[in-house]
Structure 1
């Protein structure tokens, strides 16, 4: 009996030690609501809309203490539509992100897998859409990926430790095409500084053959046709050899108010140099398509439970495109608890000039189909609960 008690005590002690040195956490959120648009192809639209403020997800996060300040870690994160139960991100099982790596408090992390690029990591949180304005309030078509529409496959990422508010990092994605080292290659880098009321961010992203490597990197993607069909702002530029994004952002808190701004320059270079089937005849066959985007945003914590927001966004195309887009956003977020909130967002957009197909531009709020006119108005209400 004494031997049995000793064995049980020893096993319990070992299990307790293992539990203290490693852990796995289940986490996630469900975000669902209703959306209205005044003009989608000339008709009013009422629809069930999910993942508005944040994409609905569940995931597993784990780490193991290896000693000497070194830890192993992993993340598996699935995106889904709560209205249908279907997978998001083109049907990928863990389409949001999945990676494994090593991390040190003093030196940072090295991670391998499907991951976020540096624009998302270092400037994305400074855009209104990533805070309170919903994915509908993203920059047109999320052309600069600040709202994290696209992930990066085959990625090797370094993320630094936090040095008194300063963080930096970079990502490189192997193209994986035999005999062509540069095809489908992606790399990015960025830096962020956050101290007291001030946050600053800057990042660079370079994507080879974006139609396949960035927009077409999930289970439902085409290996020959266009995968850039989400927005007429850039859909005609799927034949680009390279997409480049330079992004910066700033936020400054004054009492209950936070003032913010972002700027991005997005370029689709070398049009016609990537073979793509199914592009409309009006799509440009050569040259570069370039965009400036400027956003000013404001949020105010009216009470511990209620947050209000406002933003204005301007997009200007140049070089082979001259499309101009003005967008105004108002929103509110009411927190029933730390985990559950109710939100309402309204977006108005006006477009002019020529779109990426060379046709007269019509308004197209992100995630919606184009309006039949230069204007489009949308309103979204919903609930988000985290676990």
Structure 2
């Protein structure tokens, strides 16, 4: 009887421990990226050599967890904080004109998933932002890394990270998933609906054999006031982005295109071609991207057209399963309106080069 009693107590303790473990299924993770960048803008004075934080991958740490609710349903969360390795300060934060900022500035998400798909609430990257767990941007091997010369977002229009957002991802149907996103206020939503700046996104993501691709439509209305600048938004903005990758085995070929427009503000076309090739135990990337458009806010008689192109090369070599070294070289050139800008306004998204090397560790 005594032995049976001890066994029952042991089973009860084990059962309680299992429940506690399942309820606290939380993972700590992160990325640390440090390096050196040498860069020069054509109209700037001198070459700049600086310590780099996040040139390849934005430094971050985060917490994520999930709980099984049974019957195929689960609830989870992801909280992610960005930081600058070279200074120890926070990065990727949203800050309003009153100086209020957030802690988990890269992503703050609560989600429910099941047979219906996944429904998320919080702050995360928009569909074509290239940032966070909810983005589906694809078709450019350099992604949103490598700053002004390499990042797709320097040519393509994007909506970055948005607050007060709801995201839905459908189950896969024949390799195709539907992605929908809405923000009740990209910065804040404490006013009337008509006084908040809203975001709308709809995308399709497909995978078939060696091919994967996306089509994304995004829009923001002109309601409300920019909480950082304190000025009213002028015009609704729209964009259509399409991108895809095809794995040939010996290399992956990628292509991306975007048309973006905003009445009385701009019309723009951007596209890129790139490839990733296994080489000497690592991965080599090559790419070129182009942009041309019209600044419709310019007065009559002023230069209102612009264009630009870039060439990009990068190489990464794994030192372990969690650590790799990288090198990068890129050049970008601007014409017409971008070429005519003053030295004060010039930056690397117009004309200049950057060379970098660094180390990335993931945990």
- TM-score bracket, normalised by the shorter chain, equals 0.7 to 0.9
Q: Which residue of 2 aligns with 1:174?
A: 184
Contact 2:235/2:265 (<8 A) preserved:
no
Contact 2:290/2:309 (<8 A) preserved:
yes
Q: Is 1:163 the counterpart of 2:178 in the alignment?
A: no
CA RMSD, aligned part only? 2.8
How far is the alpha carbon of 1:260 from its aligned partner? 0.7
- Size of the aligned set, in residue pairs, is 338
What SS is found at the alignment partner of 1:13? helix
Contact 1:123/1:247 (<8 A) preserved:
no
When normalised by structure 2's length, the TM-score is: 0.84
Q: Which residue of 2 aligns with 1:154?
A: 164
CA offsets 1:302-325 (integer angstroms, 9 cap, x no match): 24x311111111010126241101
What SS is found at the alignment partner of 2:247? strand
Q: Which residue of 1 aligns with 2:120?
A: 111
What SS is found at the alignment partner of 2:138? helix
Q: Which residue of 2 aligns with 1:128?
A: 141
Q: 2:8, 2:259 → 1: CA distance?
A: 67
Q: 1:379, 1:35 → 2: CA distance?
A: 6
Q: Is 1:298 the counterpart of 2:275 in the alignment?
A: yes
CA offsets 1:188-226 (integer angstroms, 9 cap, x no match): 01111123210111111111249966xx6xxxxx2515x
Question: Superposition pairs for residues 1-387 of structure 1, below 5 Å?
Answer: 3=5, 6-20=8-22, 23-39=25-41, 41-90=44-93, 92-104=102-114, 106-119=115-128, 120=130, 121=134, 123-130=136-143, 134-136=146-148, 137-139=150-152, 141=154, 143-145=156-158, 150-175=160-185, 176=189, 178-181=191-194, 183-209=196-222, 222-224=228-230, 240-269=234-263, 287-303=264-280, 305-318=281-294, 320=296, 321-355=304-338, 360-361=340-341, 370-371=346-347, 375-387=351-363
What SS is found at the alignment partner of 1:181? helix
How far is the alpha carbon of 1:5 from its aligned partner? 6.0
Q: 2:347, 2:107 → 1: CA distance?
A: 33
When normalised by structure 1's length, the TM-score is: 0.79
How far is the alpha carbon of 1:14 from its aligned partner? 2.3
Query: CA distance change for structure 1 residues 363 and 37 in 2, over 3 Å: closer, same or farther?
Result: farther
What SS is found at the alignment partner of 2:8? helix
Q: Which residue of 1 aligns with 2:97?
A: none
Q: 2:9, 2:192 → 1: CA distance?
A: 59
How far is the alpha carbon of 1:334 from its aligned partner? 0.8
